[in-house]
Amino acid sequence: MAAIGPAIVIACVLDLNNYGYAKKKGLTSSMLLAVSMDNIIAITIASILVKLMIPAKTTSTMLIMVGIPHS
């Protein structure tokens, strides 16, 4: 699972909107909403999986050594 690059998709969708494609039905708005929801779901699932895979007693030093960002 991977998040969609919003910078590329949003630029392309806005170009389609400027050219007049699907303006009447609001398809470009739906596409932007779908991209946003896809990113939210992908990031949420990835965060949950990382939290489940890392034991609670893991120290910040161990996380840094493995290369996982910590909060």
Task: Cite the beta strand spans of the chain per DSSP E.
Answer: none
Give the number of other Cβ atoms within 10 Å of residue 57's Cβ: 6
Smallest CA-to-CA distance from 58 within 47, 49, 46, 71 is with 71
Does residue 32 register a pLDDT over 60?
yes
Calpha distance 43→30 (Å, rounded)? 20
Q: Which helix (H) or strand (E) holds 19?
A: none
Look at 45 and 57; give whichever has higher pLDDT: 45
Structure confidence at residue 59 (pLDDT): 66
Look at 42 and 62; give whichever has higher pLDDT: 42
Structure confidence at residue 37 (pLDDT): 86
50-71 pLDDT per residue, tens: 777 776 666 666 666 666 665 5
